[in-house]
Structure 1
Amino acid sequence: MPAPKKTVRRSLLVTSAALSSLALTAPVALAAPSPSTSPSATPPAGMSSVGGTRLGRPGTQVDLGAGAPVLPKDITARSWIVADAESGEVLAAHNAHWRLPPASTMKMLFADTLLPKFPRDEKHKVVPADLAGMGAGSSLVGIKEGETYSVHDLWLGVFLRSGNDAVHVLSAMNGGVGNTVEEMNEHAQELQALDTNVVTPDGYDAPKQVSSAYDLTLFARSGLQKKDFREYCSTVRAEFPGETKKTKKGKTVRKPFEIQNTNRLLAGDTDISVYQGIAGVKNGNTTNAGATFTGVAERDGRVLLVTVMHPEKEEHNEVYKETAKLFDWGFAAAGKARAVGELVPPRSAVRASAQPGANASDGQAGGAGNTASATPAAKAAGHTGSGMATAFAISGGALALLAAAAFLVNRRWPLPDLVRRRSRP
């Protein structure tokens, strides 16, 4: 049931006070190693312990309680994690902090960083410089120079077709690739995703570009607080503007064409069915990264996040097959397997909860039923147009702290208009 209104109001006041004093707040000290940004051939003996000491150990980490099923034996991924999206409990993991090339799953961080900056109906005419610097063989949605696209169109291109061309156009709108990479790295630090080093905003293979199953799960969890993020990552197919052409009669026409989501658990394929309850998030595949995927799904009111990186088994759609097996295990083990770690909150949420007068019980009141109380803060953390961009410019941590408001008001981070729709047969 919803938390008392006074409790919600008190939490929001704490967040406002923290926002005002953010620039004067000292950074939170975090005990995490700073390993090389070069991916290793085998998991290091010592990895980051963010989220719990067991998550820093190589190999599989699971604590089966009474009645919990054993893990699937045919999971070949180098790294994976199964977590409760709302409580943040990590139910099981394998090399969770192993720094590996992320491929296009890096686009989740890109979207979480840039989505609030541009109104979805803003238009942009593409110039040649916008598309410069894309890697050879990049996945493309089909953006053409000289054509005008809305921000909404561009984000559909990012999420459905994993279009590096759409990423580069949005980066150009954001002051260029260099500036976007810098902001993505800053946002990763804010989310305590300390395994991540961004070199290219689209996830294209680059020296020293790494992330981890743990960090990718943090990106997904943070992004899913934004309404637009939820909408785009759960869209199966959409119309995308085509190229402007002249007919034989001299008329100018611009016909759209259909694009489909390349997430096979969402759209299905010849050898894999749509996963019951799936609602996103993002897939990727490059030479160095192999196949990577982070997905979110709901069953019987429980929402899980699963990230799988680089399955060794070379079968078609293997990354989705292994993800589906881990989802099945997670739903069966929920409430039985004991947590081996947690998905940590953003740094700003930690700072805000430490402000004078903050009460930890205020931010966590209501548990699973406290969904209504989170709605205003969750909306503030999502897409709000140019006003939010102005606030972000005034204080570099303002946007992240607004996201922390949702965390403080509702620790469980519900995903209301996303998972309930896709859970139906």
Structure 2
Amino acid sequence: MARSRSAAALVSALLAVSPLLTGGTTPLAAPAGVAALVPHPGQVAVAARAPHRPCPEPSPAVPRPSHPARPTPDATQGAVGGPALATAGLATAPGTPTPPPVTATSWVVADLNTGAVLGACGPHEYGVPASVQKLLLAAAFMPDLKPEQKVRVTAGDLDFEPGSSAMGLVLDGEYTVETLWLGLLLNSGNDAANTLARLGGGPDGLAGGLREMNAEARRLGAYQTHAATPSGLDGPGQYTSAYDLALIARACFAREDFRRYASTREAQVPAQPPAHARGFAMFNDNQLLFKYPGALGGKTGYTDLARHSFVGAAERDGRRLLVTLLGAENQPQAGWQQGAALLDWGFGLRPDTAVGRLVDRTPDRSTASPAAAAPSAVARAAAEGAAEVRPAGGTGERSPLLLAALAGGGLAALVLLFALVRRRRARRGM
């Protein structure tokens, strides 16, 4: 008991001085497994939410159909990307025009080049992704799967909700990975999603693919995202946020091959005798690509539970902007049109406008996947959304040394804390 009280005191002291050590102004939240040692958990909760400002909505309000309750993830919301983003309402920089009214329940407009968040509505609110989740599939496997590799379709690949979107794969048909990527992004093929996830999952097949997708979300810093299906079809415990979608989409658009696939308007599916003796054409279902000047592509999504979701990007005068939105209705504007209106708003802002930023985490695939090795205490803390650090620049980053100090306790914590202080001083020339 005395040891527990001592550990609690140490954790409380570390949390109290954390702003001084990190150059920020907000105390850290205790990581999972440590909060129980702290006498007053409320004192170490995540940063308080920003003042609520309602997001502009169409008038009169658009009626929303009743549907089953959305999943409620057991996770902590934090001000990742900056304290102004810790709101369920509107986040815009002072002096900026009011964004256009949209039916989306949450959205983010960000600069693809700099990572600056220009504005947002409930960026960290949990939502259901629908087919925009296919971007996480692309982020996870496009770097490793060879486009010329050929894949034979199995019965399991064709096991998905009847009537949902598909590119038209046939059992025992043989397709290149490149054709599958095109079918995934142009036709939102759920059959392509299952096939690519199985291939990327290696010996564990589809299950391994899902584990790697969720590992990729963690590598990118998308801690509010969990995939239960590779296609985005609704599944238990599946969720994301508009902010996480922006992180994932930015990683995708950083790749030349993804940009090429996403901007393709028409592609040919090769013949697969006897079912498709001559092959057939498929067309991109993202209308932004056809009707918005400078469009770079993106992804549409819809399920009864998720409603309409959308990710789109466009370039104008050298600026490349990204929009993500969740929970939209298709009236009075389609999802892509709501995205286009938000892009117009973003392009109308000064280039240096920012209310937060997209955290920049380059995925490291040199180490074993979390599915293959037990994560360290630091990795567990990070994966559970622990210890947001806000440096002097006002952006949210994680300090692995301080995380370890908080998780470790005792002499190890003090040693790591001392190392952190020395490192901070060295960086500042002290």
Pairwise TM-score range, normalised by the shorter structure: 0.5 to 0.7
Secondary structure (helix, strand or coil) at the match of 1:280 reads strand
Q: How far apart, in 1, do the equivalents of 2:168 and 2:88 lie?
A: 41
Secondary structure (helix, strand or coil) at the match of 1:320 reads helix
Aligned match of 2:106: 79
AA paired with 1:50? V
Aligned match of 1:136: 162
Q: Tell which structure's C-alpha radius of gyration is larger.
A: 2
Question: How far apart are residue 128 of structure 1 and its match?
Answer: 1.9
Aligned match of 1:149: 175
Secondary structure (helix, strand or coil) at the match of 1:293 reads strand
Q: How far apart, in 1, do the equivalents of 2:124 and 2:359 lie?
A: 13
Contact 1:55 1:96 in 2 (8 A): yes
Q: How far apart, in 1, do the equivalents of 2:188 and 2:167 lie?
A: 7
Aligned match of 2:79: 49
Match status 1:257 vs 2:280? yes
Match status 1:171 vs 2:197? yes
For 2:361, which of 342, 346, 366 is the aligned residue? 346
Deviations 1:383-423 (A, max 9, x none): xxxxxxxxx576549xxxxxxxxxxxxxxxxxxxxxxxxxx
Seen in structure 2, the aligned counterparts of structure 1 residues 198 and 235 have a Cα distance that, compared at 3 Å, is: same
Aligned match of 1:196: 225
Q: How far apart, in 1, do the equivalents of 2:191 and 2:363 lie?
A: 32
Seen in structure 2, the aligned counterparts of structure 1 residues 394 and 194 have a Cα distance that, compared at 3 Å, is: closer
1:51-130 matches, cutoff 5 A: 51-65=81-95, 68-72=96-100, 74-130=101-157
Question: How far apart are residue 278 of structure 1 and its match?
Answer: 0.6
1:373-412 matches, cutoff 5 A: 392=365, 395-396=368-369
Question: How far apart are residue 40 of structure 1 and its match?
Answer: 6.5
AA paired with 1:264? Q
Aligned match of 1:205: 234
Seen in structure 2, the aligned counterparts of structure 1 residues 32 and 292 have a Cα distance that, compared at 3 Å, is: farther
Match status 1:232 vs 2:261? yes
CA RMSD in angstroms, aligned pairs only? 2.7
Aligned match of 1:358: none
Q: How far apart, in 1, do the equivalents of 2:31 and 2:161 lie?
A: 31
Match status 1:332 vs 2:348? yes
Aligned match of 1:403: none
Seen in structure 2, the aligned counterparts of structure 1 residues 137 and 323 have a Cα distance that, compared at 3 Å, is: same
Question: How far apart are residue 347 of structure 1 and its match?
Answer: 6.2
Seen in structure 2, the aligned counterparts of structure 1 residues 31 and 184 have a Cα distance that, compared at 3 Å, is: farther
Percent of paired sites with the same residue: 39
Seen in structure 2, the aligned counterparts of structure 1 residues 256 and 394 have a Cα distance that, compared at 3 Å, is: same
Contact 2:71 2:237 in 1 (8 A): no
Q: How far apart, in 2, do the equivalents of 1:312 and 1:126 lie?
A: 35
Contact 1:33 1:47 in 2 (8 A): no
AA paired with 1:244? P
Question: How far apart are residue 64 of structure 1 and its match?
Answer: 3.5
Contact 1:32 1:48 in 2 (8 A): no
Secondary structure (helix, strand or coil) at the match of 2:197 reads helix
TM-score, normalised to structure 2, is 0.66
Secondary structure (helix, strand or coil) at the match of 2:142 reads helix
Q: How far apart, in 2, do the equivalents of 1:187 and 1:52 lie?
A: 22
Structure 2, unaligned runs of 5 or more: 1-27, 33-44, 46-68, 371-430
Structure 1, unaligned runs of 5 or more: 1-29, 247-252, 268-273, 350-391, 398-425
Aligned match of 1:284: 301
For 2:325, which of 274, 284, 308 is the aligned residue? 308
Q: Which has the higher contact order (CA 8 A, sep 6+)?
A: 1
Secondary structure (helix, strand or coil) at the match of 1:333 reads coil
Contact 2:212 2:369 in 1 (8 A): no
Seen in structure 2, the aligned counterparts of structure 1 residues 243 and 330 have a Cα distance that, compared at 3 Å, is: same
Deviations 1:227-265 (A, max 9, x none): 21111111111111243139xxxxxx8312111111111
Question: How far apart are residue 79 of structure 1 and its match?
Answer: 0.3
Q: How far apart, in 1, do the equivalents of 2:345 and 2:86 lie?
A: 22
Secondary structure (helix, strand or coil) at the match of 2:238 reads coil
